[in-house]
Amino acid sequence: MSLVELSHATKRFLNSKGGTHTAVSDITLDVEAGEFVAVVGPTGCGKSTTLSLVSGLEPPSEGTVRVSGRPVTGIPEGVGYMFQADAMLPWRTVLANVAAGPVWRGVPAEQARAQAHDWIERVGLGGFEGYYMHQLSGGMRKRVALAQTLVTEPSILLMDEPFSALDVQTRALMQTELLDLWSGSRAAVIFVTHDLEEAIVLADRVVVMTASPARIKDVFPVHLPRPRNVEELRMDPDFVRTYSQIWSSLSSEVAIARKTGVGNVA
């Protein structure tokens, strides 16, 4: 039994014209405990939707989603989800935002603050505990989100393009930190990204999705040894080979999405 099991999962939404729009179609994917899976695909294909199925925020229209062997109804135990959009509470300080999860789960306030403190240090934001969100840079806000998610010690970590808004240096820094934190926790990670390099650098497997509606097109194992050096890996011949292999699968989907994209959006 895998930790996360998607089996023929399909998700349809009502569209603005009163019809239905299929966001993801017939997805079958297993993720083991301690495994790092990256999901890549053209924009708007249904990557975020896939994560929302696993998180229990959206029920599948067809098929089944299981976490720890149990069908998902409501939010499963042990799930952490870093959203694509900013979801910090603007009226709370960094410390109060990070402590929110433990407090809501019934940890005594004092202890929750101590845990939050610890994670704020770990993501490199020590000294900013008393700041409000609008006083932080975009990269700092992402770190707060990371600390807020990790403080609950999830066994399944869903991350939706967490680093896409960051500059190259900060992104590499955050990737390194994520790998460090993850290797200590052995959580299962499903990591959505636009950036194929990022996917390969981080993941054990890269899942390529088709243009809308999202299906799983290919799954590529990444045989790069760990611990990985995020910055040097990009020059590694194995990395380059893996990259071109996956890109040949992904690029055609990107091309399809570009061609039909405008029509789909309208």
Ligand X SMILES: Nc1ncnc2c1ncn2[C@@H]1O[C@H](COP(=O)(O)OP(=O)(O)OP(=O)(O)O)[C@@H](O)[C@H]1O
- Kindly list the residues in this chain that would bind other proteins in the complex (CB under 8 A): 55, 57, 75, 79-81, 83, 85-87, 89-93, 100-101, 104-105, 124, 127-128, 132-137, 139-140, 148-149, 152, 169-170
Q: How far is the CB of 10 from ligand X (least distance, A)?
A: 12
- Residue (21 or 92) nearer to ligand X, CB: 21
Q: How far apart are CA 258 and CA 42, in angstroms?
A: 8
Among 43, 135, 137, 244, binds ligand X (CB under 6 A): 43
- Residue (87 or 255) nearer to other proteins, CB: 87
The piece of 52-60, 80-88, 166-174, 179-187 that touches Mg ion (CB under 5 A) is: 80-88
Q: How far is the CB of 160 from Mg ion (least distance, A)?
A: 6
Q: Where would I find the H helices in the chain?
A: 47-55, 94-104, 109-122, 138-150, 168-185, 196-202, 237-265
Contact 212, 161 (CB under 8 A): no
172 binds, among Mg ion, ligand X, other proteins, none (CB under 5 to 8 A by kind): none
Residue whose C-alpha is closest to residue 2's, from 62, 63, 65, 48: 65
Following CA atoms 230, 199, 164, 14 in sequence, which dihedral angle do they give, to the nearest 10 degrees? -170
Q: How far is the CB of 58 from ligand X (least distance, A)?
A: 7
Q: How far apart are CA 70 and CA 5, in angstroms?
A: 9
What are the CA-CA distances from residue 208 to residues 108, 124, 173, 249 (Å)? Answer: 43, 32, 25, 7
Residues 76-115 that bind ligand X (CB under 6 A): 84
Among 22, 25, 48, 212, binds Mg ion (CB under 5 A): 48
Q: How far is the CB of 106 from ligand X (least distance, A)?
A: 31
Among 26, 30, 44, 131, binds ligand X (CB under 6 A): 44
- Residue (107 or 216) nearer to Mg ion, CB: 216
SS3 97: helix
- Residue (38 or 100) nearer to other proteins, CB: 100
SS3 68: coil
Q: How far is the CB of 252 from other proteins (least distance, A)?
A: 33
Q: Which residues are at the interface with ligand X (CB under 6 A)? A: 13, 21, 23, 41, 43-49, 84, 212
